[in-house]
Amino acid sequence: MNKEFKISVIGLGYVGLPLARLFSTKYKTIGYDLNVERVKSLMKGSDSTLEVDDLSLQEALKNGFICSSDLDDIKDSNIYIVAVPTPVDKNNRPDLLPLIKASETVGKVISKGDIVIYESTVYPGVTEEECLPTVEKISGLKYNIDFFAGYSPERINPGDKEHTVEKIKKVTSGSTPEIADLVDKLYASVLINGTFKASSIKVAEASKIIENSQRDVNIAFVNELAKIFNVMGIDTNDVLEAASTKWNFINMKPGLVGGHCISVDPYYLIQKAQIYGYLPRIMSDARRLNDGMGDYVGHQIIKLMNKTGVIVKNANILILGITFKENCPDVRNTKVVDIYNTLHEYTSNINVTDPWADPSKVKKEYSIDINPKIDNSPIKKYDVVVLAVAHEQFKNLKIRNLLKDNGVVYDVKSFLPREIVDGRL
């Protein structure tokens, strides 16, 4: 297999780059991305997403791995793997444009006998009903006659250094039994924990989207519990700690659901189900509840300020963290922004600090200025400190030293020592 395949991975983000680097350890591999600056940075041996450490990337480049924005560089490949984002629009409807554009790119370079494999998360049917007809149209080739297809959904968890791409068990599928076997063997050749070959492309698509939808529903349940117990004056984390002593209790914590997977993917299945005349009520309610948690937390903080005598209007507030999860630079669809916006209705004196986030990306995406370091000058004291993201750098922070005498601490993640916290989700 090493001698037969030349692989091109289209899309070098959080999913595509780790995958391309992994395949490059056994096969001639090229990473393709339209972002010229991104490609230049990668060819210098630096990954801004931090999903591939610089040493591993530099080693891969020395061994022949190439990143390019030139279509000519991928024309002689025979395996094309598409790993581009699948976002939703402002009305939470699936936006397939990145996927269609990537399919057009494949259509320009694919040849007879080649295979295109999709990794992007989609609702069942997108690969065969939307993507492959686009490849056919652009290339002039016939699907399952001149070229073939597979689907192997990504399972990357941004910032997770334990479940890295080579350790993830991957679901695979193919457009014919023979192609399914080939795609399965291709992935199995670079994965430590092997693969699971699904019975069809649609089954593989569906399996991925329910992974994230299930997690979304489970988080919505504990978020609703948090709302109930907050009204009752009961500490939600104490309740969960007690309940988790039962052997089959699913132990999850309340929190913000952001990022590009759990907060987005369920909308794809919801939309497709409605086309078939079915409204998925549990999934829809879970999305609605989780989408509103940032605003809910913001109002909980205001309620805490009022209770403790902190004047809300023009209060000095420090928010610790803006990425969508801890120890990760990813700010896509972060719900910390909803907390910020709710508090900003009452005060413009809000400082946001995050040692992981890129200030230019946050400014461009959310029009919020952030600092990598905390302004802890003696004259700068805060009325409120909000721990929004559980970055490791915040663990030993002397938060009480940053507060005014009557200042309060709100812990969204139940990350800080309980004795210094005045309120938590």
From the candidates 67, 131, 261, 328, which is the catalytic residue? 261
Rounded to an integer, what distance in angstroms lies between the CA atom of residue 422 and that of residue 306? 12
Report which DSSP code applies to 391.
-
- At position 398, the amino acid (one-letter code) is K
Q: Which CATH number fits domain 292-424: 3.30.1330.60, 3.30.70.260, 3.40.50.150, 3.40.50.720?
A: 3.40.50.720
Are 373 and 352 a contacting pair, CB within 8 Å? no
Q: Measured between alpha carbons, how far apart are the two ends of the chain, in Å?
A: 52
Which one-letter amino acid corresponds to residue 248?
N
User: How far, in Å, CA of 264 to CA of 293, rounded?
Assistant: 15
Q: Give the pLDDT confidence score for residue 424 in this predicted structure.
A: 92
d(CA 7, CA 31): 8
- Write down the pLDDT at residue 379: 60
Residue 383: predicted pLDDT: 96
For residue 378, the model assigns a pLDDT of 61
Position 376 scores a pLDDT of 63
Give the per-residue pLDDT at 414.
Answer: 92
Task: Enumerate residues 6+ apart whose C-beta is below 8 A from 3.
Answer: none
6-201 and 292-424 share one CATH topology? yes
Q: Domain residue spans in the chain?
A: 6-201, 292-424
Reduce the secondary structure of 43-65 to three states and give it as a string: HCCCCCCCCCCHHHHHHHHHCCC
Strand (E) positions, 125-181? 148-151, 170-172
Mean pLDDT by 10 residues, the chain (425 residues): 82 96 96 97 94 95 96 96 94 95 98 97 96 98 97 89 90 97 96 96 96 95 96 95 95 92 93 95 96 97 95 96 95 96 96 95 95 73 96 91 93 93 93
Right CATH for 6-201 from 3.30.1280.10, 3.40.50.720, 3.40.50.1000, 1.10.287.110? 3.40.50.720
**What is the reported pLDDT for 380?**
74
pLDDT at 70: 96
131 flagged as catalytic: no
Helix (H), strand (E) at residue 6: strand 6-10
pLDDT at residue 162 in the model: 84
The SS3 of residue 317 is strand
